[in-house]
Amino acid sequence: TNNPETVTMTKNKAVTAVFVQVEEVYTLDVTILPTEAEDDGCTVTKNPDQTTYACGTVVTLIPQEVACWSFDIWGGDNGSEVTGSGTVSDPYTITMDSDKAVIANFTQICDPPCCLPQWANFKTNSRGAWGSTGEGATYFPNVELDGIASGYNIWNGDGWHGWCINKNISIVHYWWYDHRGVKCSIGAGGNWNEINWIINNRRATDTMEDVQYAIWYFTGDVDYVDLPPNSKWLVDKVDGSFIPAVDQKYAVILDANIKCEIQRIFIEAIRTCCCEAWHQEY
C-alpha cells in the first residue's frame, strides 16, 4: 500500500503492482446575473442536480424565468460550451470534462404601458369622479378591480387612480366591465411614454382636468389650441423618451370586451422591478 515501495534484493523476487481506477469528478458553478434577477427568483435547474459530476456527464441546464425577467444568453468562463437552443427537444446542455463555471444572463422585460391581466374585471365608483360638459360625459374614476390572480403588483379592490383615454365616450359608475385581453384602443402607436411622463410630473397646481386634457392631447382627442394653459405646459414639457423607473408610476390599460363601445381607461400603478401586469401584444 506504500507508494513508493522499496524491495531489498536478497534473492529472486516477484511483485505485483495493483492499480485501481480513480473516478475523476468535477464541479459546475452557475451564477445568475444581474443579481436583481436572482433576488426576484430567477434560477437555473441542473439535471442531474449534484455537487460533483463524473467525467463525461452531460448536464441539462434549464433557466427558470419569473415575471419581469427573460433568459438572454450564457456567459462566463465556460458559457460558450453550453449547447442547445433551450427547447424541450433541444435543451441547453454542458459536458463535464473539467470544472465548469457558467453565467446565466437574464434581461428585464415589460416596459410600460401594460394591460390588465386577462379575466380581470373593473368598475368605476363615484368617489373622486368629475364630469365634463360638452361632448359626452367623461370621468376621473376611482377604479375597483376584481379577478386578478396573485403575482402582479396590482391587486383586487378599489382606490386605483384612473384616467380616461377617450374623451367622448362615457362609462357607467358601479357597472362591472370585463377585460378578456382586448387590444388597447390606441394600440402600439399610442404615446405612452408621454402619458407616463405626465402622470409622474404633474404639479400640485395642475387640476385633474388639466392632467386629463394633456392625456387626451396625446391620445388624439383634443387639439393643442383647445387645451387649458396648465395642460399646454405639461404637453410642452413632456419627455417622449420617458420610461418609468422603479418606484415611479406607470399606466396599466383597462379595456372592455362588450358589443357596445365604452370608455377605455387606464390606472396608475407603482413600478417595482417592472410592469407585472401582462405586456400588451399588438
Question: pLDDT tens digits for 54-77?
Answer: 999 999 999 998 766 778 899 999
Q: Which domain holds residue 235?
A: 114-270
Co-location of 254 and 119 in the same domain: yes
- How far is Cα 137 from Cα 129, in angstroms, rounded to an integer? 11
Co-location of 131 and 239 in the same domain: yes
Which helix (H) or strand (E) covers residue 129, if one does? none
Q: Is residue 247 part of a domain?
A: yes
Co-location of 92 and 118 in the same domain: no
Longest CA pairwise span in the chain (Å): 122
- Identify the sign of the CA torsion 213, 214, 215, 216: positive
Where is average pLDDT lowest: 42-46, 236-240, 255-259? 255-259
Co-location of 247 and 125 in the same domain: yes
Q: Is residue 2 part of a domain?
A: no
Co-location of 131 and 53 in the same domain: no
* Strand-by-strand arrangement of the 121-125 sheet: 114-115, 249-254, 265-270, 157-164, 142-146, 121-125, 177-178
* Strand-by-strand arrangement of the 57-64 sheet: 43-47, 57-64, 92-96
pLDDT at residue number 116: 54
Please give the model's pTM, rounded to 2 decimal places: 0.54
Torsion angle in degrees (nearest 10) through CA of 74, 76, 79, 81: 180
Co-location of 53 and 155 in the same domain: no
Contact 185/171 with Cβ under 8 angstroms? no
Question: pLDDT tens digits for 178-229?
Answer: 654 333 445 445 688 898 899 999 999 998 889 989 988 998 889 999 999 9
